[in-house]
Amino acid sequence: MTDSEWTAARIPDLAGRTFVVTGANSGLGLATTRHLARHGAHVVLAVRDEARGRRAVAGLSDAQPGVSLEVRSLDLADLDSVAEFAARLHADGVPVDVLVNNAGVMAPPRALSPQGHEMQFAGNHLGHFALTGLLLNLLQAGRDPRVVTVSSIGHHGGRIHFDDLTGARDYAPVKYYDQSKFANVLFGLELDRRLRAAGSPIRSLLAHPGISATNLQSTGPTGLIRVGGALVKRFFAQDAEIGVLSQLRAATAPGVEGGQFYGPDGWKELRGHPTVVRPDPAAEDPDTARRLWDLSEDLTGIRYAIAASA
């Protein structure tokens, strides 16, 4: 069977395994949760709005009675919330086999997180960086442990604005969204390098959904960006049930390798079934990745218990 034929039907039996999915109450996160639970996994829905999370669980349970789900509060843009979420998982003895860093915000007006970071960089990158570091020891003990970080085709052409990280001088919503998605790829690849150097069983993988129809295009942007997003969603986007396959394959398929990046196999990676794709060459630069890693440790206060890559 070829890559183009990979579908959710190929997800193996996940009974006895626990997945944490951020942003699990809607869009790609909800689709990810549904497929994981349908194949026997216990899924922790890590959501900012617990009421919406409970409604999502009710809907999933009605559609398939007996699925194993739980809702936990997590605001990735608030590092205190990230620390509290991780501490509760540890205290409650919840095992973690796979972490799916899925949640994201796209192109909102400029705003700062409680810790003073630009909101997209805070929620899309720093929160996931901190969460992964805080759960690393649980993952280390997991069964076929993986970290799947969901990026975007927007990472192409993105860069880290080290001299204006919060956008105080020159904020543009899409530019800073691309920065956060570029950071996701730098992080996922550098995490892979460090895990390999440490001999860890954890695999770090990346995924992107191409252009998929979710609420991401409408809940963050305003003005003309929102109008443009709606047009793209209507005329070009593929169904989320196809877009989600990239992260599902990275999270569940046997034989995947750390450092692989899964995206659609169609033209310009906009649509299609999941296959291994190449990151933007700039995102493969280890020097930039190490610089971002060091900065992320400083901004979050999270120090990973793995050595720097060579």
CA-nearest of 201, 78, 187 to 132 is: 187
CA-angle at 191, arms to 186 and 192, nearest 5°: 105
Q: Which helix (H) or strand (E) holds 249?
A: helix 245-252
Pick the catalytic residue: 176, 177, 262, 304?
177
Q: Alpha-carbon distance 217 to 211, whole Å?
A: 10
Residue 72, beta-bridge partner list? 46
CA-nearest of 269, 289, 268, 173 to 221 is: 173
Which are the contacts of 194, defined by CB distance < 8 A and separation ≥ 6? 304, 306, 307, 308, 309
Q: Alpha-carbon distance 29 to 202, whole Å?
A: 21
* Pair of tokens at residue 141: 């003990």
Place of tokens 């990973």: 304
Tell me whether residue 176 is one of the annotated catalytic residues. Answer: no
Q: Return the amino acid letter for 167.
A: G
- Tell me the catalytic residues: 177
